[in-house]
Amino acid sequence: MNRNTRINALLLLAVAALAVLPLVLGLGDHKEEPFAGADAEAETAITEIEPDYEPWFSPLYEPPSGEIESALFALQAAVGAGVLAYYFGLRRGRRQGEERALAARQDPPAED
């Protein structure tokens, strides 16, 4: 097993552990919504500290349900991942093209 394969396997194992460990350890069992987002946690903490708190701004668009909000978030993540994949693929393709062009200049084809 080469070095890159070992690194990829360790990274995959780490990601799987991050996804599974909170479920296995029962983190969040004492809460009504165990895995609510950071926004909900912050709102709860603020209202406990200062019950009369009024937000400065209101959202531009409030989705009609939590499912639509989750779908929009997933769409945003997918578009971001696509943009990053395109960028890194483009960089790699350009680098490979430059390497091929350099190799072609150094090794001209043999004449018959």
28 conformational bin, left if phi > 0, alpha if psi -120 to 50, beta if neither: left
For residue 1, give every residue at least 6 positions away whose Cβ sits within 8 Å of its Cβ, in sequence order, or none.
Answer: 9
Per-residue pLDDT of the chain (112 residues; tens, 9 = 90+): 899 999 999 999 999 999 888 888 877 667 666 666 777 788 888 989 998 988 888 889 888 988 898 899 999 999 999 999 999 999 999 999 999 999 888 876 666 5
What pLDDT sits at residue 42? 85
pLDDT at 80: 97
The pLDDT value given to residue 40: 76
Say what the pLDDT of residue 95 is: 94
Cβ neighbours of 63 (radius 10 Å): 13
